[in-house]
Amino acid sequence: MNGAVGRAAGHKQENINLKAANVALVKEKAAAVAVLKYAEARREDAVKALEEANLGRARMTKSIEEAKTSYATLEVDSRKELETREEIVADVNQRLVEAATRATKVAEEKDDLANMNANLVADRIWMRNCGVVNYTDADAEVVGHAREAGYKAGYTECLAHVKAISAK
């Protein structure tokens, strides 16, 4: 019997060892389940964080595209505005050149009129000094023709005609 008792005792010890191993396995399983639950929670947090990051990335990409579009539009608008301003400046410069040309022409015409007036005044004084009192448009025409023909001495001849006409 000793053998059966020894075996029973061995089985009992083995049973105790198995129960202890089973308790240890249950504790390890519980610990593993807790670690698994913690890992699942972390995984879910990581998935949520990844989804939020992807959403943020999508928003950022959209913002970048909008900024590029806005920049391109702004650049086109700026070019158009610059071209418009350059056209305005060119037009103003053209008008300025035209105005300067007109001003030069007006100044020349003013000088011509001043010279003509000075000649008429000189002719009037000369005729008064020569005794011509009435000086008509016809007389002015005769003197003008004489001047155009280059008569300096011709004034005397003209004076004779003018005196003859004014004596009538």
Q: Spell out the residues 6+ positions from residue 135 whose beta carbon is closer than 8 angstroms to its own.
A: 124, 127, 162, 166
User: Which residue range(s) make up the domain with 83?
Assistant: 2-129
pLDDT digits (tens, 9 = 90+) for 39-51: 999 999 999 999 9
Domain assignment present for 157: no
Residue 74 within a domain = yes
| Long-range contacts, stretch 121-126, CB < 8 angstroms, 24+ apart | 126/155
| Rounded Cα distance, 134 and 115, in Å | 23
Asked whether residue 123 is assigned to any structural domain, the reply reads yes
**In this structure, is residue 19 part of a structural domain?**
yes
Angle, to 10 degrees, between the axis of helix 137-149 and the axis of helix 154-167? Answer: 170
Distance in angstroms (rounded) separating the CA atoms of residues 121 and 127:
10
Is 167 part of any domain?
no
Residue 150 within any structural domain of the chain: no
- Residue 152 DSSP symbol: S
In a domain, 165, yes or no: no
Model pLDDT for residues 77-130, shown as the tens digit of each residue? 899 999 999 999 999 999 999 999 999 999 999 998 888 888 778 777 877 776
Q: What is the pLDDT of residues 14-38, one digit of tens each?
A: 888 888 889 989 999 999 999 999 9
The 10s digit of each residue's pLDDT in 6-19 is 677 777 888 888 88
Task: Examine residue 162 and state whether it is found in any structural domain, yes or no.
Answer: no
Type of residue numbered 25? L
CA 23 to chain centre: 82
**Based on the structure, what is the number of domains in the chain?**
1
The model's pTM is 0.41
